[in-house]
Structures are given as structure tokens and as C-alpha cells.
Amino acid sequence: MMKLRQRWLLGLIILVPSLWLSILFIAMRGGGGGFRLESEEEQINLAKIHRKVSADYSLNSDESKESSEAEREKNRRAGLPKDSTLYFVPQEHPKVPYIKVKDRRKFEALFRDFPSSYELPELTENDFLVRFREPQKRNKIWEKFHQGINRYEMYSYNDSELIETYMNYLGHTKILRAREKSGGTQVKLFLVFIDGGEALMKPWRVPRDYETLPDHYYFADIERHTAEIAFFHLDRILDFRRTPPITGRIFNMTSEFYQRSDKSLGRSFFRSPANNLCFMTNCDQHCSSSETPVCGNPDRIEGSLAAFLPPEKSAKRKSWTHPFKRSYSKREKASWESDPSYCKRVVMKEHPYNSGRRLLDIIDLSILDFLSGNQDRHSYNTFHMFGNFSTIIHLDHGRAFGRYQTDEMSCLVPLIQCCVIRQSTYKRLQILQRNEYKLGDVMRESLSTDLIAPVLYEPHYDALNRRLDIILVEIQKCLAAADLLEDVLKSEPSIEDYNEPEPPKEDHHNEPKIKKNTGEEEQKEIKNNVNDDFDF
């Protein structure tokens, strides 16, 4: 016979560990979002089920519970982060209220009243990036997008239906997998949707009215997901179509990232001191300089989602150093910054800027960069298979739209120094200066339908109008100084007139002045420079 005290002790010995074990088990099955919920096998099964019911994949699980649109709208903004942990907003300027967008009158008028000013030649099979074996069976929206990418543009002027559908798809489709995206220095995730589509996610870091601080260098600037979205709209409105579609979206940290993460991303999740769910990827620059993780509030986070281009193995990219690349150092300046004749003396004499369309593409890009204040333009890509007579791809705009009170004239140096511009671009800029199609208004309207609208802080729209006036004044200056209009305003170069030059012979005494062929090397070099500069 056990004594009462012994029985008590035995009971405690059995009860405590089993209680502890069951708490652990419940937590692992999904309590509080701190653990992974599904095994790999369960996830695969889930994927199969989702494929079957893909018709209703546009509803997130937590969204489906919400009954009305109004309720959803109210909940949508609740709980989003308001203040950045590290970057504060200087308050010396007054808060500017957002202008409410009632309709998209100017945006619609622009696309209705004017065709693209850029005349596309007849496209042949060789002008398309992807050729599926059975194209008629490739009906997913991302497949249609891939099939449309060509030598001249990512999507066509008239195909706004495809783009709007794609943006809607990006904003709503169920996420199957999430992992960290390597390359570059900023935190970003590579996401796979249940129908096999892919996207690049950049998270919220700072509030919309945040301005890059006066003493912050462009290479130390934190990235903004809103800038990625706005740049896509700007590129589209300016008639370039060289940026893949990008939209905003509010994510659930647990169900859309954590439960979908690969091992390495999953391991980086934790609960912050404020009890928010956060992750911290293997970032270089943004981690070493700020140690700020990406956090939900407590579980929701805003981000941008960019349509992913076809994979490198089927659509190889060529990486180029931008001819007007900055020094990425606090102490040095790039040659073009102190030599006003740099474009004519160096750039315009070198392949591929001395013939074809490349220089005109660089000028178009400098116009976008000046309008958006993007100083972070170190390299650019082209699609390998198109050779050098092809559009450049516009990617990586997280550091655009960083200031609205001041204009960064150095972004316009390619136009100011080279004094050439596509006739079609000039025409579009003139249209966008008119009151009926005013750039700032068209941008506000265009962005108003985004899921995280208002995307840009209100003063950015005035800045766009102000900067457009500056660009047109600079073009006037070029025209006034030129003998002939054609010296400045260039008609569209044609592929028939373009001859690819012979590859240069190995001659070490005659190194090109603009460094070429960059890619990973380039990224390393920039990181080294930046990190060198930080350690002082």
C-alpha cells in the first residue's frame, strides 16, 4: 500500500511530463504561428488539392471568412505597421493629405486618345523570348505573359487586359512555396504560386512619407516596396513597357510565408520583443548596417510582388555595367560626374552605345530614374538571345521615390550630356505635360487601383510634374544648341540597319573605358565597395 504522499508524488511525476509534451505537440500543430504546421508531404498533398480547386484560389483562407467588401477594407488596413523601427520621418514639413481618386479619367484618356508613340516593326518568331512546344495549351496568365515578351517590350500597349488580369492574379493567388531570393543586397522572397507561377516579393520597410535622410548615401538607402510598384506604373505610362508587372499585396506572415517556407527561411523566423512574427534572411548590406528584421504586425505585412521573368536557363540574361554608374563609395566620384564631355567623348564612341538602340534605351532609363529619383543604377540586363539589338530590362527600383522635396539632377546626366532622345519618348513627355493627361494625375489614377493604394505619398505626384518640366527644359537646351533637330530627336533605329560589330580582339593595351560584362562579379564588387566604406 502506497502512502498518500507517495501517491501524490507518483501522480506529479506522470502528469508534469505529459502536460509538457501535449503543450509542445499543440504548439507544433499550429499554435501562435511560431512553428511549421505542415510536413513536406502534407504540403504536396495540399498542392494537389489546390490544383483541383484552383477555380477559387483567389481567396485567402482568412479572407474567405470576411463577409462584406467594406469589412474586408476595414480589416485590410488594421494592424499594419505605422512606424519603422530604425528610420524615422523628419517632421519639419507639414503632413500632406492624400487626394482621393474618384475615377481614372486622365489615365483612360491617355491610353484611349494616343496609340503608342513607339512603332513596333512586324514581329517574327525570332523576336519572341519563349516558344512553348504546345502554345495553345499554355493558358495560365503567367504563361501568356511569358509568351508575349519580345525583343522590344515585355507586353504590348494594347494588352492592358492581360496586364490588369496579371496584376489581379499577383495580388490574390495562393502561395505554395516561399524562399529567400539571393542576388542583390536587399531582403526579398521568391514565391511560387499554386499554379506554378512565380514572383519576387519585397517587404514593407518604411512609412510612405519617409524621405531618404540628407546624410544617407544612395547605396545605404533602405528599399521601398512602393517604389517598385510605382516604377512599373511609370514605365508603362511613359510607353516603355520594359518592367515586368508589379503589384502590392498584404500578406499573412504565418500562412503565406512561414508555413510555405523552405528550411532555411523557416529557421529565420522568430517572435520579436513586441510579439510580432518576424524573419531575417541571409542579407548582407541591410542586415549588417541595420539589423532590422522583417516583421508583421502582428502577423500581417505589406509588400510588392513582381512577375518573375522566364528562368535564366531558358532565357539567359546578359549583364552590363551601366555607362553612368555611380562610384558606390563616399570618397570617390565616377568620371561622368566631373567630366561634362564624358558621354560624347567616351560613351557614344563605344560599343554598344555607338550604334543601334542601346544609347536611346539608356536615355529613356535616365528619364525614368530622374522622374523617380532613382540613383541606384549600377547595372542592367538584356536577354542574351536577342543580341544587342533589343530592349534593356528595367529591374530593381526599390530605391526610387526616396525624396519628393528635392530633385536629383545627376540622374538626368545621360540626357544632358549626350543630348539625344527618341522622338517617340519626347512626344510622350509632351503629352504628359498637358493638363488633360498630366503625369502626376495619371500616375495617381493608375496607382489608385492597387491593392495597397494609396501607393505613393501625395507630394511625389507634384514632384513628377515638376521633374517632367525640368526634362523638357533640358531637351529644349539641347535643341537650341544643335544644328539640326535630328541631331537631338532620333527616329527609331531599325534592326535591318543594324550590324553587330565583330567581337573585339584580345588587346590588353586597348581596354574599353566602360567596364563590361558584370553580373555576379558586379554585385560582389558593389558589396565590397559599400562594406569597405562602412568600416571606417
Ligand X SMILES: Nc1ncnc2c1ncn2[C@@H]1O[C@H](COP(=O)(O)OP(=O)(O)OP(=O)(O)O)[C@@H](O)[C@H]1O
Q: Which residues are annotated as a binding site for Mn(2+)?
A: 223, 396
Candidate segments 41-49, 245-253, 393-401, 498-506, binder of Mn ion by CB under 5 A: 393-401
* Coil, helix or strand at residue 512: coil
Taking the complex as a whole, the smallest distance from the CB of residue 375 to Mn ion amounts, in Å, to: 11
Indicate which of Mn ion, ligand X, none lies near residue 309 (CB less than 5 to 8 Å, by partner kind): ligand X
Taking the complex as a whole, the smallest distance from the CB of residue 219 to ligand X amounts, in Å, to: 9
C-alpha cell read off for 457: 505619398
Contact positions vs ligand X (CB under 6 A): 183-186, 188, 200, 223, 244, 306-309, 376, 395-396, 398
* 151 touches 168 (CB < 8 A): no
Exposure string over 356-365, b if 16+ CB within 10 A, otherwise e: bbbbbbbbbb
Amino acid in the structure at residue 7: R
For ligand X, the closer of residues 76 and 527 by Cβ is 527
Number of residue whose CB is nearest ligand X? 184
Is residue 376 annotated as a catalytic residue, yes or no?
A: yes
Q: Quote the CA–CA distance of 181 and 191 in Å, as a whole number.
A: 9
C-alpha cell read off for 85: 523601427
Indicate which of Mn ion, ligand X, none lies near residue 256 (CB less than 5 to 8 Å, by partner kind): none
- Is position 203 an interface residue for Mn ion (rule: CB under 5 A)? no
- Is position 369 an interface residue for Mn ion (rule: CB under 5 A)? no
> Which residues line the annotated binding site?
186, 202, 223, 306-309, 396
C-alpha cell read off for 239: 510607353
Indicate which of Mn ion, ligand X, none lies near residue 464 (CB less than 5 to 8 Å, by partner kind): none
DSSP state for residue 515 in the 8-state scheme = -
Taking the complex as a whole, the smallest distance from the CB of residue 228 to Mn ion amounts, in Å, to: 9
For Mn ion, the closer of residues 143 and 228 by Cβ is 228
For ligand X, the closer of residues 142 and 308 by Cβ is 308
The residue annotated as part of the active site, out of 221, 369, 376, 450, is 376
- Is position 197 an interface residue for Mn ion (rule: CB under 5 A)? no
> Which residues line the annotated binding site for ATP?
186, 202, 223, 306-309, 396
C-alpha cell read off for 155: 507586353
Q: Quote the CA–CA distance of 485 and 116 in Å, as a whole number.
A: 22
C-alpha cell read off for 401: 521615390
DSSP state for residue 253 in the 8-state scheme = I
Indicate which of Mn ion, ligand X, none lies near residue 292 (CB less than 5 to 8 Å, by partner kind): none
Exposure string over 24-51, b if 16+ CB within 10 A, otherwise e: eeeeeeeeebebbeeeeeeeeebbeebe
Helices 160-172, 141-148: axis angle to 10 degrees equals 140
Write the CA distances from 85 to 82, 204, 303, 438, integer angstroms: 10, 12, 17, 36
Taking the complex as a whole, the smallest distance from the CB of residue 198 to ligand X amounts, in Å, to: 8
Taking the complex as a whole, the smallest distance from the CB of residue 171 to ligand X amounts, in Å, to: 15
Indicate which of ligand X, Mn ion, none lies near residue 185 (CB less than 5 to 8 Å, by partner kind): ligand X
For ligand X, the closer of residues 223 and 361 by Cβ is 223
Active site amino acids: 376
Binding site for Mn ion (CB under 5 A): 396, 398
